[in-house]
Amino acid sequence: MNSNERYVINQLNDCFPLYELRDHHTDSRVVLCPERGGIVTECQLHGQELLYLDRETFLNPQANIRGGIPVLFPIAGQLVNGQYEWNGETYRMKNHGVARNHPWEVIATGTEGSASITLALRSNAETLAAYPFEFELRFTYRLRDGILSIEQKYINLSQQAMPMVAGFHPYFATEGKNLTYGTDATHMLDYNDKLVKPFNGSLDLGGMVESAALLDARKQEISFPLARGRNVHLSYSEEFRYAVLWSVEGKPFVCVEPWTALNEALNDKAGLLMVSPGETLDLALHIACE
């Protein structure tokens, strides 16, 4: 069987145009919706569906999707009063930035050696009102050997250095909220009381309203149990310094979110990535099921 038979891309429709990446050898498939923020809505690896999706929020074009893998740019998290100051000007920005609320363009697909699709988002009048930098994002979603990789390019098209935070917000369908995480982090910031606390590898998100951020991991990876004895393993570029853990009471998911900086980065300037004019920042995230 040649690579083109092993790897397939299908076009589907579920109120919005969808693209399905398939790896037949590993019983793996990934579904994306470019029109809804370039979001991954389904991710089945080795026969196991990893993601939770609230279909009501997906089908409502005015709603933020709760589920899948939303893209966070140029902030992760939220800003106090939904605003920040840059170069003496005040701007307003919604939680998690501008990328997840705009349609992305499909610019390439491929089935040679993997199933891949490349999506692009360019700045526009609406993004510039919230974030005064011209940019282009190019994300290649690649399914190969039962692993989903998200290869990211953050391109600064403006004439000044571009401050940014990169992040993802995966909603993993779990059987419980009291999980043990494979990470070498030893401390966390609990956003419920804003205190830094020891982290011993386990955290019960049940009853927690706000998230917790793992602060001091030296290895850019984290793993945790999913369902049916399977484990999810995330690995990512060194710029992703934090893993943020969050859930909602009564909903069957846990979010494990790689971020390059924490809440308020555009205000406190802590941990911002700076991309020089005309330059490109390359990052990657890999998702596996073991």
Residue 228's pLDDT is 79
Residue 283's nearest CA partner among 260, 266, 263 is: 260
Chunked mean pLDDT (size 10), the chain, 290 residues? 76 96 98 98 97 96 95 96 96 96 97 98 98 98 98 98 98 94 98 97 96 97 91 98 97 97 95 98 97
Residue 1's pLDDT is 40
Query: Which two structure tokens, joined as six digits, stand for 209?
Result: 């309203």
Query: Which two structure tokens, joined as six digits, stand for 151?
Result: 């290869």
What are the residue boundaries of the structural domains of the chain, listed by start? Answer: 3-289
Q: Which residues contact 104 (CB under 8 A, 6 or more apart)?
A: 34, 35, 37, 38, 119, 120, 121, 137, 139
In CATH, what number does 3-289 get? 2.70.98.10
Query: Which two structure tokens, joined as six digits, stand for 143?
Result: 């399914």
Quick check: bond before 163 cis, omega within 30? no
Cα–Cα distance, 124 to 84 (Å, whole number): 19
β-pair partners for 288: 233
What is the number of H-type helices and E-type strands within the chain? Answer: 4, 26
Give one DSSP letter per residue of 180-228, joined into a string: E-B----EEEETTTTEEEE--SEEE-TT--S-EEE---SSSEEEEE-ST
Residue 4's pLDDT is 57
Cα–Cα distance, 241 to 228 (Å, whole number): 30
